[in-house]
Homo-oligomer: A and B are copies of this chain.
């Protein structure tokens, strides 16, 4: 069945990406690059149109050579998936098939569960123009469907790989959803903030800024809120006090 005698083995830690009859070397290279960006390692090709290796793939891979070097082509889809236990078809087209359809996010969650149990997963992607044929889809357990604008649903092949690879990586990413990057700085303490507030308010008082005087309390609160929304660092607080000191000196 296989067109070569190397036995494919699933990479632990991520699904294999299988491109069936890809046409453009550029897309193979771009897929390899984005796989590496998102921590996937095992790329398999079935009947690449322009043969293999393909220099256009190398050009677009931009250094993801470690992915391309391990690629070899298969003659049939079945030969490329022999040891795979869970097989997904990435396809946007609605098929007249009774089959589970998953979002990329749900699919990668399922794959991570299966791989945690030591089970192998792979995703088939079809050719640029025609996509997967129905026989290849019928070989798969489930369909992964990237949600797209129905008025313009044709995703570039490498972009489709990118979305699913990204979802796979993001599902394991520990980065907080929102974080204030501080570098070497540290958040200002309340003492530093109150020191800044009182410095500014003292100078504004001496310049007769708060008019009419009965509005002073609400103006002070607005200023303090505005400053606090900046989430000042210790250095920021010192810088602002320096600015106040400079401005009051006159020219």
A interface residues, Cβ below 8 angstroms from B: 30, 33-34, 36-39, 62-64, 94-106, 143, 145-149, 152-156, 158-159, 162-163, 166, 169-170, 173, 175-185, 231, 233, 236
Contact = CB atoms under 8 A, between A and B. Distances in A.
Interface centre among A170, A173, A184 (most CB of B within 10 A): A170
A155 B166 CA distance: 11
A104 B173 CA distance: 12
27 contacts: A30-B159, A33-B159, A34-B156, A36-B149, A37-B149, A37-B152, A37-B153, A38-B149, A94-B181, A95-B183, A96-B183, A97-B181, A99-B181, A100-B180, A100-B181, A102-B177, A102-B178, A103-B170, A103-B173, A104-B170, A105-B170, A106-B177, A106-B178, A143-B181, A147-B170, A149-B169, A159-B162
Given A103-B175, A178-B102, A146 B166 contact: yes
Counted per complex, copies of this chain come to: 2
Closest 8 CB pairs of A and B: A106-B177, A147-B173, A36-B152, A39-B149, A159-B162, A101-B181, A96-B183, A101-B179
Nearest to A150: B39
Contacts of A105: 170, 177
Given A102-B179, A147-B173, A162-B163, 10 more contacts: A34-B159, A94-B181, A97-B183, A98-B183, A102-B178, A103-B170, A143-B181, A146-B166, A147-B175, A162-B162
A146 B38 CA distance: 10
Nearest to A100: B180
B148 A38 contact: yes
Nearest to A149: B39
A182 B100 CA distance: 9
A62 B98 contact: no
A233 B94 CA distance: 18
A200 to B, nearest CB: 20
A62 B94 contact: no
A183 B101 CA distance: 12
A182 B98 contact: yes
A37 B179 contact: no
A148 B53 CA distance: 27
A50 to B, nearest CB: 18
Contacts of A233: 98
